[in-house]
Amino acid sequence: MDQDLKRSRWLRQVGQPAWMMGVLNCTPDSFSDGGQFTDVKKAIQQGIDMRRLGADIIDVGGESTRPRAQVVSLEDELQRVIPVIEGLTKAACPVSIDTRKSAVMQAAVKAGACMINDVTALTFNEDSLQVASHSGVDVCLMHMQGTPENMQNAPCYQDVMQDVIRFFETRIEACLQAGMQQTSLILDPGIGFGKRLQDNLHLIMHLDVLKQYFRLPVLLGVSRKSLIASLTKSPVHDRELETAVLDALGIYLGADGVRVHDIAYQKRANMVATALSDARITSK
Q: Is residue 142 part of a domain?
A: yes
| Angle (nearest 5°) at CA 95 between 94 and 97 | 165
**Residues with active-site annotation:** 225, 259
pLDDT recorded at residue 147:
75
Half-sphere exposure of 35 (CA within 13 A, CB side): 2
Q: Is residue 13 part of a domain?
A: no
Q: What domain range includes position 129?
A: 19-279
pLDDT recorded at residue 2:
46
Tally of domains within the chain: 1
Length of the chain: 284
Q: Is residue 116 part of a domain?
A: yes
CA 225 to chain centre: 13
The pLDDT confidence band at residue 45, using thresholds 50, 70 and 90, is very high
Helix, strand, coil shares of the chain, percent, nearest 5, are 50, 15, 40
Q: Is 65 helix (H, G, I), strand (E, B) or coil?
A: coil
The pLDDT confidence band at residue 6, using thresholds 50, 70 and 90, is low
CATH number for the domain including 149? 3.20.20.20
pLDDT digits (tens, 9 = 90+) for 201-213: 999 999 999 999 9
Alpha helices in 112-257 (DSSP H): 128-135, 160-177, 197-205, 207-214, 226-232, 240-252
pLDDT digits (tens, 9 = 90+) for 208-252: 999 999 999 999 999 999 999 999 999 999 999 999 999 999 999
In angstroms and rounded to an integer, the radius of gyration of the C-alpha atoms of the chain is 17
